Structure 1
Amino acid sequence: MGPVKRSIMIAGHATSISLEPVFWDALREAAAAEGLPLNALVARIDAARLTGPAAANLASAIRVWLFERERAR
């Protein structure tokens, strides 16, 4: 299945993110494991990407964050 676009509120504004369903599922699981609402976790990933050396787009940053999280387990 192809990417699914969803609207997420970050810092008081809506942004659209397109991710494949497997990444949406993993993101929801990660938010639950962190005890955070999905929006809060996405906001944290967004803030980290903006302060990083090369700001990727948000969807890419989420995929990388999920990959690195899984690899660290």
Structure 2
Amino acid sequence: MVASTCIDGHWDLNNIYHPPVKRSMTVAGHQTSISLEPLFWNRLRAAAEAEGLPVNAVVAQIDVARLESETPCGLASAIRLWLMTRT
């Protein structure tokens, strides 16, 4: 996986423009695949570590919240939006 690098708060712009990477995971007992850019995979992994949970458990929580929304978006979009609210 290509890693996006952040050094002293500045992103390495040569690495952030990587196309999405598809990963398979089990969310709420269902197998699914999610495509996210490496920057978002890295942030999702860090968020999961900070919460002491596996990545798929955090994704399951995001999935529940998005489905409860009046205007649910796709899961990958929901993950990106959730990550943006954490900064």
Q: Output the TM-score relative to the length of structure 2.
A: 0.79
Unaligned runs of 5+ residues in structure 1 are none
Q: Distance in 2 between matches of 1:50 and 1:60?
A: 12
1:4 aligned partner: 21
1:21 aligned partner: 38
Is residue 34 from structure 1 mapped to residue 51 from structure 2 by the alignment? yes
Structure 1 runs (4+) deviating above 2 angstroms are none
Provide, for residues 23-66 of structure 1, a one-character-per-residue CA deviation record: whole Å limited to 9, x for no partner. 00000000000111111000000000000111100000000000
Identity of aligned pairs, percent? 63
Q: Looking at both structures, which has the greater relative contact order when contacts are Cα pairs under 8 Å and sequence separation is at least 6?
A: 1
1:60 aligned partner: 77
Q: Output the TM-score relative to the length of structure 1.
A: 0.93
Q: Secondary structure at the match of 1:48?
A: helix
2:3 aligned partner: none
* Aligned amino acid, residue 41 of structure 2: W
* Aligned amino acid, residue 57 of structure 1: G
Unaligned runs of 5+ residues in structure 2 are 1-17
* Largest Rg, 1 or 2: 2
* Aligned amino acid, residue 53 of structure 1: E
